Amino acid sequence: MLVGKRSKHTQSGRFIMAGTRTAGTVDGTPLFTDVSLHWIDIAGDLRSDSYQCLAAAADADVEVFAAAMQAASTASLWKVSVSAAYTSTPQASNAQNAAHQSADDVINMLQKTASNQAQDVVIHAPLQALFVGETEVIDTTDALLTAISGAFQDIADGTYGLVSYRYTEHREINKRQRV
């Protein structure tokens, strides 16, 4: 199991550790099914909404819901995503008080295929150990970042490659670092 690692830095004389995972174990027995409806409007604006449903929600029932939602909207329902949800109760006390403590502070790891399909792998509230010293420059040689990129490629179709990293703080975009 991949777990957080100790930070290279300390705060107030103690090691800064990763937050505590409380999400359920991915073992084939989800607690819920998440249904996401993805929309595009006449202006080309994209929106999506997710709904927590019964774990045993039937495909036919999801289709009836999606069809009813489309019937009530002028936007185009272009994608329906159905996924198993392994959840728990969110608790802020399981997060750590550290340099990048906000979920709005993120490292975006841009992954692309040869045909230019792109996905960002996003690390929310990243550990300071993922940066060079006390800076906001990402340590692109960090073993945990390498493990995350490899794990993503394993669950994606295997044709994605890491292109760049970018640290974004509270939606302020910093310079992208090429790999």
Residue-level pLDDT at 16: 55
Spell out the residues 6+ positions from residue 73 whose beta carbon is closer than 8 angstroms to its own.
39
Residues 78 and 105 in one domain: no
Domain annotation covers residue 106: yes
User: Hey, CA dihedral for 47, 51, 55, 61, is it positive or negative?
Assistant: negative
Q: How far apart are CA 110 and CA 161, in angstroms?
A: 8
Q: Are the C-beta atoms of residues 121 and 72 closer than 8 Å to each other?
A: no
Domain annotation covers residue 7: no
Domain annotation covers residue 15: no
Domain annotation covers residue 22: no
- Taking alpha carbons only, the member of 160, 162, 155 closest to residue 178 is 162
Domain annotation covers residue 48: yes
Domain annotation covers residue 136: yes
pLDDT tier, 17 (very low <50, low <70, confident <90, very high otherwise): low
Domain annotation covers residue 63: yes
Residues 129 and 72 in one domain: no
> pLDDT digits over 35-61, tens only?
999 999 888 888 888 888 888 888 999
- pTM, two decimals, is 0.62
Question: How far, CA to CA in Å, does 146 sit from each of 73, 129, 162, 173?
Answer: 43, 13, 9, 22
Residues 81 and 100 in one domain: no
Residues 133 and 157 in one domain: yes
* Domain coverage including residue 73: 32-85
Q: Specify the range with the lowest mean pLDDT, choosing from 95-109, 120-134, 158-172.
A: 95-109
Beta carbons within 10 angstroms of residue 70's beta carbon: 16
> pLDDT digits over 81-116, tens only?
999 988 877 777 766 666 655 677 888 999 999 889
Domain annotation covers residue 12: no
Phi and psi angles of residue 118, each rounded to the nearest 5 degrees, phi first: -125, 145
Residue-level pLDDT at 2: 37
Residue-averaged pLDDT of the chain? 81
Residues 80 and 103 in one domain: no
Tell me the pairing of strands 177-178 and 161-169.
Answer: antiparallel
Domain tally for the chain? 2
